[in-house]
């Protein structure tokens, strides 16, 4: 059921030599889209190739690329105008870029290439809305078991629908943005009343983010097949979470300030088309799904994921420790199922909507996607080369990585953030 074309040819090589190095995240078969700038210059749309960026804004201005004839779509420094174009245009543009970068058919003449080391990356999309799901059975079972006991680990609805909630779009930031530790209401179990202060149980959530390109109309639900096609691409996503704020605030309407302070995404949007060779089915159903959630195709992806944690100030052995290795294929609901469910009530979906997969956890202790699970709510500290951690301390850096590996590698780059101390605003 995968839909392969010339852009998936494993024998293709680029005249940009760094793209052909084994293990490179951005070979000619990947071509992820992002937004960059140099110095004080304006934001530009680009495609990553090896350790370079191909400047699409320049190519469009020069008339070499013309996704929407007569109307520039790469001039605004954000991917939304391009993502709003028909899916054939996404595909045709990507094919043309591959030709330009191919060692057989292309060459450097007339192309602007920028070293990634010299560029500043920006949020690639205007995030119209951010929705966060909860689609890993292992993660939901672990968290449920911790907070409600093993007998009530999964809520009765969990196997029937992709549980999700609306997140906050205004605080989605690009990898590399420093993350300010949030303040909030905290209440110890034995305290009479809450107090206000810095979060003490700051956590990550290892997720993938699906980005909606094609919108849907209010009142018009979409099928899982339509939903699959509406997705422009994927990013790594860290849904920073304040566990102590969360536990006090979340009843009965769900997480709010515990999640609102920051969500980090990786800068390069790997297109759905680039992921086609890595399609896999969702895990076997434990209970049958209602027809509107059934899938005729394998809509999950085989994406290896890892989390690295580096303690503040180069403590310990000075290196980052990989604290989790897992795979996106474990998700019980695909992003197509999530999007179809999202629209089921008639909810309009928009270009630029970001759908977090939910924390990706596997079934083994080394494959968990949050510190909450890894340290079992702080009970079992982890070792980072000589220093130990339960939750995140100020100055710690957390980095997510992701890649598909087959006849070639399709990498997502990094999704990183360093935590700054909380604002002391004297209240």
Point out which residues bind its own copies (CB under 8 A): 128-129, 134, 144, 155, 157, 160-161, 163-171, 173, 180, 182-185, 187, 193-196, 218-221, 223, 242, 245, 248-258, 260-262, 287, 290-292, 341-342, 344-350, 353, 423, 425, 427
- What is the per-residue DSSP string for 127-178? -S-EEEE---HHHHHHHHHHHH-GGGSS-TTTTTS--EEE--GGGEEETT--
Q: What is the smallest separation between the CB atom of 205 and its own copies, expressed in angstroms?
A: 13
**Number of residues that this document lists for the chain:** 427
Whole-angstrom Cα distance, residue 234 to residue 49?
A: 17
1 vs 155, beta carbon nearer its own copies: 155
Q: What is the smallest separation between the CB atom of 346 and its own copies, expressed in angstroms?
A: 4
Q: What is the smallest separation between the CB atom of 166 and its own copies, expressed in angstroms?
A: 4
102 vs 295, beta carbon nearer its own copies: 295
- What is the per-residue DSSP string for 40-64? TPPPEEEEEETTEEEEHHHHHHTTS
Token pair of 327 as six digits: 């795979």
CA dihedral of residues 400, 404, 405, 411 (deg, nearest 10): -60
Q: What is the smallest separation between the CB atom of 343 and its own copies, expressed in angstroms?
A: 9
Of 336, 338, 333, the residue nearest 360 (C-alpha): 333
Beta bridge partners, 405, equal 409
Per the annotation, binding residues for Ca(2+) are 132, 205, 207, 239
Per the annotation, binding residues for Mg(2+) are 239, 259, 263
Per the annotation, binding residues for substrate are 134, 148, 246, 250, 359
Residue given tokens 């943005």 in the structure block: 177
62 vs 217, beta carbon nearer its own copies: 217
**Which of helix, strand or coil describes residue 235?**
strand
72 vs 254, beta carbon nearer its own copies: 254
102 vs 244, beta carbon nearer its own copies: 244
Residue 45: CB partners within 8 Å, gap ≥ 6?
A: 33, 34, 35, 55, 56, 57, 74, 77, 78, 79, 82
Per the annotation, binding residues are 132, 134, 148, 205, 207, 239, 246, 250, 259, 263, 359
Q: Where are the beta strands (DSSP E) in 286-408?
A: 300-301, 304-310, 321-327, 354-356, 382-384, 387-389, 397-405
Catalytically active residues, by annotation: 139
Q: What is the smallest separation between the CB atom of 30 and its own copies, expressed in angstroms?
A: 31
Token pair of 315 as six digits: 């403590």
Integer CA distances (angstroms), 417 to 178, 193, 305, in order: 6, 33, 16
Within 10 A of 211 (CB to CB), how many other CB atoms are there? 29
Whole-angstrom Cα distance, residue 62 to residue 76?
A: 16
């Amino acid at each position: 059921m995968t839909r392969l074309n010339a852009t998936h040819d494993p024998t293709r090589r680029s005249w940009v030599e760094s793209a052909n190095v084994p293990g490179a995240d951005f070979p000619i078969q990947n071509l992820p889209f992002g937004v960059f700038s140099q110095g004080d210059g304006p934001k530009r749309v680009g495609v990553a190739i090896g350790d370079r960026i191909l400047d699409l804004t320049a190519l469009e201005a020069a008339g070499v690329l013309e996704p929407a004839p007569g109307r520039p779509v790469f001039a605004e420094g954000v991917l939304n105008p391009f993502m709003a174009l028909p899916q054939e245009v996404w595909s045709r543009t990507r094919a043309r870029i591959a030709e330009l970068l191919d060692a057989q058919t292309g060459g450097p003449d007339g192309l602007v290439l920028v070293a990634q080391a010299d560029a500043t990356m920006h949020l690639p999309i205007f995030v119209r809305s951010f929705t966060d799901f909860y689609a890993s059975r292992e993660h939901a079972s672990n968290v449920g078991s911790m907070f409600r006991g093993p007998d009530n680990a999964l809520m009765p609805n969990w196997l029937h629908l992709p549980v999700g909630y609306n997140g906050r779009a205004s605080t989605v930031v690009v990898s590399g943005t420093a993350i300010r530790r949030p303040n909030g209401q905290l209440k110890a179990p034995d305290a009479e009343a809450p107090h206000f202060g810095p979060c003490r149980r700051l956590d990550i959530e290892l997720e993938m983010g699906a980005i909606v390109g094609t919108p849907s109309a209010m009142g018009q639900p979409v099928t899982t097949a339509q939903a699959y096609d509406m997705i422009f691409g994927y990013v790594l996503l860290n849904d920073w979470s304040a566990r102590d704020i969360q536990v006090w605030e979340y009843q009965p309407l769900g997480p709010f300030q515990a999640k609102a302070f920051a969500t980090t995404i990786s800068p390069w949007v790997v297109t759905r088309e680039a992921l086609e060779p890595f399609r896999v089915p969702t895990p076997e159903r434990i209970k049958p799904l209602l027809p509107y959630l059934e899938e005729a195709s394998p809509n999950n992806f085989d994406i290896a994921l890892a989390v690295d944690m580096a303690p503040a100030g180069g403590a310990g052995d000075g290196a980052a420790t990989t604290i989790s290795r897992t795979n996106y294929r474990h998700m019980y609901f695909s992003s197509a199922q999530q999007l179809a469910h999202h629209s089921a009530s008639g909810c309009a979906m928009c270009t630029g909507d970001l759908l977090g997969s939910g924390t990706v956890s596997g079934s083994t202790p080394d494959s968990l996607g949050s510190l909450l699970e890894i340290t079992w709510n702080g009970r079992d500290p982890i070792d980072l080369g000589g220093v130990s951690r339960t939750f995140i301390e100020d100055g710690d850096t957390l980095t997510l990585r992701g890649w598909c590996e087959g006849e070639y590698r399709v990498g997502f780059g990094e999704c990183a953030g360093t935590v700054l101390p909380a604002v002391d605003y004297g209240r």
